[in-house]
Amino acid sequence: MVDRRSVSIFGSTGSIGRSTLDVIASHGGRDAYDVRVVAGGANATLLAEQARAVDADMAVIQDESKLPDLRAALAGTDIDTAAGDAALVDAASQRVDLCVSAIAGAAGLYPTLAAIRAGSHIALANKESMVCAGDLVRSEAARMGVRILPVDSEHNAIFQVLEAHHAAAIERIILTASGGPFRDYTLEQMRAVTPEEAIAHPNWSMGVAISLDSATMFNKGLELIEADQLFPVAHDHIEILVHPQSIIHSMVGYADGSILAQLGTPDMRTPIAYALGWPARVTAPVERLDFASLARIDFEAPDETRFPALRIAREALQAGGLAPCAMNAAKEIAAEAFLNRDITFLEIASVVEHVLEGFANGAAAASLDEVVAADSEARRLAGLAVQTRAV
Ligand code: NAD
Ligand code: MG
């Protein structure tokens, strides 16, 4: 058992947030973890339930119109409540041993950066923090002596492998990808897919945004950029490999030709448990891998013709500066437009590519203001592209 840790969970009502509370409950609960803040977007009922269950100090909801509901649901407790973007940042500014960053999308950057500046170690599920402002996040983390423990399963796998082995001898990183629900689809079939089909992931149960990103493979594109930020490997030594069963969560290749991998069932509670317990290992309530019944595991090269997101992300990574941030912002707008049935599935990548062509890229982001400006400019350009279908 580790010492009792203070923890804040941003995005507690989401898929990662709920899994985090599940790991906490099954591993010592309040004896092991002192949950200070739970924070979510708009689900006041669930947020209040979570705050009561862990006896949090504070519950913060992003949607200000839901504050009365949250207050009513927490009446009679001494749990503080607050709402809005500024309240999220304020709550993240209270130092804890570990801040779980699990808000979806670029919105997760602001509380994550606030938590780093407060000196809290970070369990990072919100990959967008690294994609939009990786340089800033890393330099602030270094300045504050803050550790970033990756929760994204691929990066968590690589982190686990690297922890035990010599960084200097790393030759390559192999990021595995399930290929999503349309792995075998022809371009013709992909043209007609619906939002319902696109958010039904074959292996992982996740939030809507990341499920759609897995279908376009923008998720793997974001993860490529996230891996470049997190690990000491040149970006042309980060490979993507399609592995439909999602059992090998990623691999590291060394100078002597050895490849080390981390394996497990596709359940985020394993990487979450790793981050919550680090540097110890804690038990996680997940199904154990049964190799005999698994029988086989497959691999294939990714197809950048059917999944242009992979090429777009690699180009954004090579361009550097604010291009990854612009790519993510444009992708968020295009994804929303697809979910609203304003554009087709294949047009998501076209919108993003169109935005990146028109975007005036700057040098590596030095400040949060520059990131915010790039993010909103790319959103504006993507909105225009969606409206005029000029893609
Ligand atoms: P989700 O949609 O299930 O949950 C998102 C959470 O963020 C919810 O609590 C929601 O209320 C909150 N939220 C959304 N917008 C907000 C805003 N503007 N301000 C404050 N809170 C807001 O998403 P998820 O699947 O849990 O993913 C969360 C993050 O973790 C994403 O960055 C995702 O890429 C990453 N991630 C998820 C998984 C997974 O298996 N779900 C795996 C790897 C990485
Ligand atoms: Mg992942």
Nearest 5°: the CA angle 71, 75, 79 is 75
Query: Mind giving me the DSSP string for 254-271?
Result: ETTS-EEEEE--S-THHH
391: pLDDT confidence band, cut at 50, 70 and 90?
Answer: low
Residue predicted with more confidence, 362 or 118: 118
128: pLDDT confidence band, cut at 50, 70 and 90?
Answer: very high
- Name the residue of 8, 10, 15 to mutate for ligand 1: max ligand atoms within 8 A of Cβ: 15
**Which DSSP category does 169 fall into?**
G
Mean pLDDT (whole number) for 25-54:
96
The region of weakest confidence among 36-50, 56-70, 196-210 is: 196-210
Distance between Cα 220 and ligand 2 center (Å): 7
Contact at 8 Å (CB) between 326 and 356?
yes
- Predicted confidence at residue 123, as pLDDT, reads 98
Tell me, using a 6 A CB cutoff, whether residue 14 lines ligand 1. Answer: yes
Is the pLDDT score of 390 beyond 70? no
Residue 390, Cβ density class (10 Å: 0-12 exposed, 13-18 middle, ≥19 buried): exposed
Contact at 8 Å (CB) between 85 and 60?
no
For 268-325, the pLDDT digits (tens) are 999 999 999 999 999 999 999 999 888 899 999 999 999 999 999 999 999 999 999 9
- Predicted confidence at residue 1, as pLDDT, reads 44
What distance lies between CA 155 and its chain's CA centroid?
10
- Nearest atom of ligand 1 to the alpha carbon of 107: 18
Q: Which amino acid is at 250?
A: S
Q: For tokens 């030759």, what's the residue?
A: 171
Q: In percent, how much of the chain has pLDDT > 70?
A: 98
Distance between Cα 42 and ligand 2 center (Å): 24
Mean pLDDT (whole number) for 74-85:
98
Mean pLDDT (whole number) for 351-377:
91
Domain 5-151: which CATH class?
Answer: alpha beta
Tell me, using a 6 A CB cutoff, whether residue 104 lines ligand 1. Answer: yes
- Predicted confidence at residue 203, as pLDDT, reads 86
385: pLDDT confidence band, cut at 50, 70 and 90?
Answer: very high
**Which DSSP category does 318 fall into?**
H
- Nearest atom of ligand 1 to the alpha carbon of 128: 32
Query: Mind giving me the DSSP string for 11-63?
Result: TTTSHHHHHHHHHHHHTTHHHHEEEEEEEESS-HHHHHHHHHHHT-SEEEES-
Dihedral sign, CA of 16, 212, 201, 225? Answer: negative
d(CA 332, CA 207): 14
- Name the residue of 149, 210, 214 to mutate for ligand 1: max ligand atoms within 8 A of Cβ: 210
Tell me, using a 6 A CB cutoff, whether residue 102 lines ligand 1. Answer: yes
Mean of the per-residue pLDDT values for the chain? 95
**Residue ranges covered by each domain of the chain:** 5-151
Contact at 8 Å (CB) between 79 and 47?
no
Is the pLDDT score of 168 beyond 90? no
Tell me, using a 6 A CB cutoff, whether residue 127 lines ligand 1. Answer: yes
Tell me, using a 6 A CB cutoff, whether residue 58 lines ligand 1. Answer: no
Is the pLDDT score of 2 beyond 70? no
For 82-91, the pLDDT digits (tens) are 999 999 999 9
Q: Strands, E, within 218-364: which ranges?
A: 238-242, 248-254, 259-263
**Which DSSP category does 182 fall into?**
T
For 288-301, the pLDDT digits (tens) are 999 988 889 999 99
Task: Quote the pTM value.
Answer: 0.94
The region of weakest confidence among 13-22, 74-83, 103-112, 194-203 is: 194-203
What are the CA-CA distances from residue 100 to residues 14, 43, 125, 162, 308 (Å)? Answer: 12, 18, 7, 21, 31
d(CA 12, CA 21): 8
